[in-house]
């Protein structure tokens, strides 16, 4: 699902204004508000397409994203003066700090005004979609982990070095034991592929993580640091 590609844009969940409500049908984004200092994160990797100060958006940054062949553009408004970290043409990574929540432009109280456009932004905002619908996955992750939003902004990855010729993976139902052949799911060959990389889905036991493999499906793998595996 496309929504899985976006993360929550700040470290507070306090939504104060939703997308195109009955009261404000021309509000084409969501407002997330909190006092204090709050980082603003790029919701996905992309290229900065606009960066300026306007009467409405205040200090703002626009980022263009290409996700599975679809162009998206995100807008981050009312940022603190002097906090913008990128200029037009800069490449940004998902989760990268792009500014700090502020109160610039047409804003009454500090908040982030965030817009998501499926397609490019335009003055009539015809491509605007409800950001919360796309950020739902990120929200439910935050809630189920009881985490602060910025902690889930990047998923942990497992890297198996190309120096490793073979790496045993295990079935999910019981703890991996090296000599228990009944428990083997298969063998990965990192050296054959110049190293391998997986997204960590779970950490069921100490030094064991669950990954999705192409050949063996979901498996457990032993990743103590002595093995040469890197979690990042
Ligand atoms: Zn707003």
Burial status of residue 179 (CB atoms within 10 A of its CB: 0-12, 13-18, 19 or more):
exposed
In which band, very low, low, confident or very high, does the pLDDT at 208 lie, cut at 50, 70 and 90? confident
Q: Given CA atoms 171, 142, 1, 101 in this order, what sign does their dihedral have?
A: negative
Instruction: Give the full edge-to-edge strand order of the sheet including 157-160.
Output: 196-199, 157-160, 230-231
Q: Which of 201, 185, 165, 184 is nearest to 4 (CA)?
A: 201
DSSP state of 10: B
What is the percentage of the chain residues whose pLDDT exceeds 90? 54
For residue 201, what are the contacts with CB-CB under 8 A and spacing of at least 6?
209, 210, 211, 212, 218
pLDDT at 49 over 70: yes
pLDDT at 189 over 80: yes
Residue 29 alpha carbon to ligand 1 centre in Å: 6
Query: Which pLDDT value is given to residue 151?
Result: 44
Residue 171 alpha carbon to ligand 1 centre in Å: 48
Which of 17-26, 170-179, 189-198, 216-225 is the most confident on average? 17-26
Task: Give per-residue pLDDT as tens, 80-129.
Answer: 999 998 999 999 998 888 999 999 999 999 999 999 999 999 999 999 99
Q: Which of 142, 164, 145, 157 is nearest to 212 (CA)?
A: 157
Residue 113 alpha carbon to ligand 1 centre in Å: 4
pLDDT at 138 over 90: no
Say which residue, 76 or 192, is predicted with more confidence.
Answer: 76
| 28-47 mean pLDDT | 93
Residue 189 alpha carbon to ligand 1 centre in Å: 50
Question: 156 with 198: CB under 8 angstroms?
Answer: no
Question: 121 with 73: CB under 8 angstroms?
Answer: yes
Task: Give per-residue pLDDT as tens, 50-76.
Answer: 999 999 999 999 999 999 899 999 999
Q: How far, in Å, CA of 31 to CA of 18, rounded?
A: 7
Residues in the chain: 232
Whole-number average pLDDT of the chain: 88
Question: 64 with 120: CB under 8 angstroms?
Answer: yes
Residue 131 alpha carbon to ligand 1 centre in Å: 12
Residue 114 alpha carbon to ligand 1 centre in Å: 7
pLDDT at 162 over 90: no
What is the percentage of the chain residues whose pLDDT exceeds 70? 91
Q: What is the DSSP string of 83-142?
A: -----TT-EE-TT-EEEEBB--SS-SSSEEEEEEEES---TT-TTEE-HHHHHHHHHHHH
Strand intervals (E) in the chain: 15-17, 30-33, 39-41, 46-54, 58-67, 70-79, 91-92, 97-100, 111-118, 128-129, 157-160, 167-170, 184-188, 196-199, 202-205, 208-213, 217-222, 230-231
pLDDT at 45 over 80: yes
């Amino acid at each position: 699902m496309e929504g899985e590609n976006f993360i929550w844009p700040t470290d507070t969940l306090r939504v104060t204004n939703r997308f195109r409500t009955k009261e404000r049908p021309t509000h084409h984004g969501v407002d997330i508000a909190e006092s204090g200092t709050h980082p603003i994160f790029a919701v996905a990797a992309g290229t900065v397409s606009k960066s300026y100060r306007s009467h409405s958006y205040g200090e703002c940054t626009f980022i263009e994203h290409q996700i599975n062949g679809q162009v998206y553009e995100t807008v981050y408004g009312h940022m603190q003066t002097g906090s913008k970290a990128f200029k037009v043409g800069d490449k940004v990574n998902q989760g990268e700090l792009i500014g700090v929540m502020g109160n610039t432009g047409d804003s009454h109280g500090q908040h982030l005004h965030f817009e998501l456009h499926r397609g490019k932004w335009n003055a009539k905002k015809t491509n605007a979609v409800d950001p919360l619908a796309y950020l739902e996955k990120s929200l439910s992750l935050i809630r189920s982990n009881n985490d602060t939003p910025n902690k889930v902004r990047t998923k942990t990855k497992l890297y198996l070095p190309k120096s490793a010729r073979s790496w045993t993976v295990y079935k999910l139902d019981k703890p991996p034991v090296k000599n228990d052949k009944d428990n083997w799911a298969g063998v990965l060959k990192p050296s054959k592929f110049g190293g391998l990389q997986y997204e960590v889905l779970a950490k069921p036991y100490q030094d064991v993580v669950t990954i999705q493999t192409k050949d063996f499906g979901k498996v457990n793998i032993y990743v103590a640091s002595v093995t040469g595996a890197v979690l990042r």
